[in-house]
Amino acid sequence: MFEKEEQQLAKWKKAYDDMPFPEDKIEEAILKGYNRAVVESKVKPRRKKWLFSSMAAAILIISFLTSIRISPAFAHYVSVIPGMEKIVELFSDNKGLMSAVENEYMQEINATQEKNGVKVTIDSVIADENGMVVFYTLETKENQELFDIRDINFKSADGTELSLGSYSGGIQMGESRKSQASAMEFYFQKPLTTKQFIVDFTIITDDYKESFQFPFSIEKPLKVSKTYTLNKAVTIEDQKVIIKDIQIYPLRAAVHIVMDPENSKKIFAFEDIRLVDENGESWTKIANGVTASHISENEQIVYLQSNYFKQPKELYLVINKLQAVDKEDAYVVVDTEKQQILKQPTGNHLTNVKLEGQELRFVLDTNSEFFYATPFNSMKDVNGETVYFSQFLTSDDNGNRVIGVNLPSKQEINYPNPIELELCFFPSWIKGDVHIKVE
């Protein structure tokens, strides 16, 4: 039974295993003394330019299948829910979502609408009191390279106010095709109190632009979070951080972290942070989607894959690698008229600055893997006035990774040189060996 589904999953697993993964640092497994390899697929820059708003989170594409033997419930979903095979391909890197499916926590919706050659199916939903993932499939009569979802509006159907904190839909670029499976993610600042919803959005492809509205309801009871209060202070290369608490939901785990304002470095990201059980099994950072929420300059919530449906005898929070620079180096100063970098963090990773029209471009040179496409948080002119901009990632004719910003024209705003770009990501790290017992 389910032989076809297991064969298909085996095929996907072999494809992932055959990918040219780089060798990464092998961490010691908790209490077992054996090594578990961490594999990450390399992100290769494309010649096409990608645009991001200054609020966009970096998107990482990291695929890892943890087990090929599947449960009957999981195989059932793969075989009967529309679009499930593509969902497994896209989200197999998220052990929390796959575990929710395995434990029959996914709900089938299977609602379809078609307009002028564009067909949209809301396939299924996974929801908890804190968030919701809506899986959908797009189909067109003609091949398309672009499948984009925009103007997303998510609301309750009964008028209940939703405290929506963040959401994502995602632009999908790729080879010419007639269908695309993806997901919309919604997370809330307060627990959900309704199960009736309406989602509006616009689908844009190379040849089509159509708007859709889908009402749907949640039938399954929403599972509540598991909360662990820690208030543990740890030090990594003389930088003090406090782990306040961990909340584990079916969709993700939220680690609440506070940085000491007296630290000498500005911590941008917790790159190697994970939950590890007594057998060495890890639940790492969310790989595709929102990886963190910044409460303030020194406080953030980092999101990990969820182990909600597991019952470990012991659970640890492990932190090994943080992205950080000295606070006085946490920005880049550029003279756009002379096309010169006047200041940047140690290492001179940014080179070949050029102003082409309204595009200020940098070559990002680093021997270490760095997947962040939007390194700048804000921009100010020499007088300290904020200048609004957008960012992009592309490559040059030599295959170098190029990051840049779209500056406003001088006709729109006359900003004096030099400009200061505040950093929110940069290829500079500190390392430690932190293990905090959660339960």
Residues 248 and 206 in one domain: no
Residues 276 and 252 in one domain: yes
Q: By the 8 A CB rule, do 44 and 401 touch?
A: no
Mean of all residue pLDDT scores within the chain: 82
Residues 311 and 165 in one domain: no
Burial category of 318 from C-beta neighbours within 10 Å (exposed 0-12, middle 13-18, buried 19 and up):
buried
Residue 207, both tokens: 């040849």
Q: Which residue has the higher pLDDT, 67 or 378?
A: 378
Q: What integer pLDDT is reported at residue 17 of this predicted model?
A: 42
CA distances from 351 to 365, 402, 417, 419 (A): 7, 10, 19, 16
Residues 373 and 414 in one domain: yes
Residues 273 and 395 in one domain: no
Q: What integer pLDDT is reported at residue 184 of this predicted model?
A: 94
- Averaged pLDDT, 26-31: 34
Q: By the 8 A CB rule, do 324 and 430 touch?
A: yes
Residues 314 and 433 in one domain: yes
Residues 274 and 125 in one domain: no
Q: By the 8 A CB rule, do 97 and 135 touch?
A: no
Q: At which of 187, 204, 222 does a domain end?
A: 222
Residue 13 pLDDT greater than 50, yes or no: no
Residues 157 and 187 in one domain: yes
Q: By the 8 A CB rule, do 268 and 323 touch?
A: yes
Q: What integer pLDDT is reported at residue 70 of this predicted model?
A: 52
Residues 120 and 193 in one domain: yes
Residues 141 and 181 in one domain: yes
In a domain, 10, yes or no: no
Q: At which of 222, 241, 256 does a domain end?
A: 222
Give the tens place of pLDDT for each residue, 118-174. 999 999 999 999 999 999 999 999 999 999 999 999 999 999 999 998 888 877 888
In a domain, 3, yes or no: no
In a domain, 97, yes or no: no
Q: What integer pLDDT is reported at residue 174 of this predicted model?
A: 82
Instruction: Check which CATH number belongs to the domain holding 159 and give it.
Output: 2.60.40.1640
Give the tens place of pLDDT for each residue, 214-247. 999 999 999 999 999 999 999 999 999 999 999 9
Residue 281, both tokens: 């099994």
- Tell how far CA 119 is from the center of its chain: 27
In a domain, 318, yes or no: yes
Q: What integer pLDDT is reported at residue 408 of this predicted model?
A: 87
pLDDT class for 93, splitting at 50, 70, 90?
A: confident
Q: At which of 181, 200, 222 does a domain end?
A: 222
In a domain, 365, yes or no: yes
Global pTM exceeds 0.75: yes
Q: Which residue has the higher pLDDT, 75 or 59?
A: 75
In a domain, 133, yes or no: yes
Q: Strand 401-406 and strand 359-364: pairing?
A: antiparallel
Give the tens place of pLDDT for each residue, 282-334. 999 987 778 899 999 999 999 999 999 998 999 999 999 999 999 999 999 99
Residues 205 and 343 in one domain: no
pLDDT class for 46, splitting at 50, 70, 90?
A: very low
Q: By the 8 A CB rule, do 87 and 181 touch?
A: yes
- How many structural domains comprise the chain? 3
In a domain, 83, yes or no: no
Q: By the 8 A CB rule, do 9 and 77 touch?
A: no
Residues 433 and 307 in one domain: yes
Give the tens place of pLDDT for each residue, 240-256. 999 999 999 999 999 99
Residue 14 pLDDT greater than 60, yes or no: no
Q: What integer pLDDT is reported at residue 414 of this predicted model?
A: 78
**Domain membership of residue 250 as a residue range:** 226-322+429-437
DSSP string, 39-85: -----PPPSS-EEE-TTPPP---------S---HHHHHHHHHSTTHH
In a domain, 352, yes or no: yes
